[in-house]
């Protein structure tokens, strides 16, 4: 599993950010957003333990 930090304000990250945001439905977007793969798993918070648990769950699912 690869972990990246993308900042929508950085020009170098904008193409990747735009591609991820195409997967987000709805009118409002709450930042920060946490994606695992191309799936949005959290919005509005990136608290350390919440992210840790989401990554742990994704790794477990990947191992099955």
pLDDT attached to residue 22? 87
List pLDDT tens digits, range 3-50: 788 888 899 999 998 998 888 887 778 889 899 888 889 989 999 999
pLDDT attached to residue 54? 94
Determine which helix (DSSP H) or strand (DSSP E) holds 16, and give its type and residue range. helix 14-21
Record the tokens describing residue 39, joined without a space.
């799936």
More confident residue, 27 or 62: 62
Question: What is the spatial distance between Cα 6 and Cα 18, in angstroms, rounded to a whole number?
Answer: 11
pTM of the model: 0.76
DSSP letter for each residue of 41-63: EEES---HHHHHHHHHHHHHHHH
pLDDT attached to residue 8? 85
pLDDT attached to residue 50? 95
What residue segments make up the domains of the chain, in order of their start? Answer: 11-63
């Amino acid at each position: 599993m690869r972990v990246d930090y993308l900042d929508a304000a950085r020009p170098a990250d904008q193409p990747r950010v735009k591609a991820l945001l195409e997967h987000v439905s709805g009118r409002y977007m709450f930042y920060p957003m946490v994606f695992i793969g191309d799936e949005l798993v959290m919005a509005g918070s990136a608290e350390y333990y919440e992210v840790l648990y989401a990554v742990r769950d994704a790794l477990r699912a990947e191992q099955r």
